[in-house]
Amino acid sequence: MATDEILQAIPHRPPFLFVDEVVEQSEESLTAKRHVSPDEAFFEGHYPGNPIMPGVLISEAVFQTGAIFLNRLLAAELEADPEMVPVLTKISDARFKSIVRPGDDLYITVTLKEKMGRFIFMNGSVKNGDGKRVMTVTFSVALAKAPPQV
């Protein structure tokens, strides 16, 4: 179950929340954990009988971890202008190294590469509970004005 800390940092909510807890953080990186429950609805239709977590959802876990990291990194900027939100602008070099199955634990780490004005560049890495690499990705976000709520 997601902690209040995560729910305050990002707008995502179940069933589209793919981070359970923050396990480690520094000024340059943040590591989160996600337990992949066998009850996840996507397992019903993604390789029935041989369930595999979709790569796009593993990627989403990385981007959500990045959003939590940015919420901390940019706290002063976001507090000064609450209409600003980080928006994903680029995904590159995504590589999937191993399969994620029901019951796996994922450890998702994002690391700051560079911040240039309103653009932030990061690396993401996912490992399973045995320390085996699942995925790597490079991505960037930009701070943008949030659209008005309807």
> Cα(68)–Cα(14) distance, rounded to whole angstroms?
16
Cβ(101)–Cβ(50) below 8 Å:
no
- How far is Cα 41 from Cα 38, in angstroms, rounded to an integer? 9
The identity of residue 76, as a single letter, is A
Catalytic residue among 29, 40, 46, 138: 46
46 is catalytic: yes
CB of 6 closer than 8 Å to CB of 68:
yes
Respond yes or no on whether the N-terminal peptide bond of residue 15 is cis (omega within 30° of 0).
yes
Phi, psi of 51 (to 5 degrees): -65, 135
- Measuring CA to CA, which residue among 97, 83, 108, 92 is closest to residue 141? 92
Catalytic residue IDs: 46
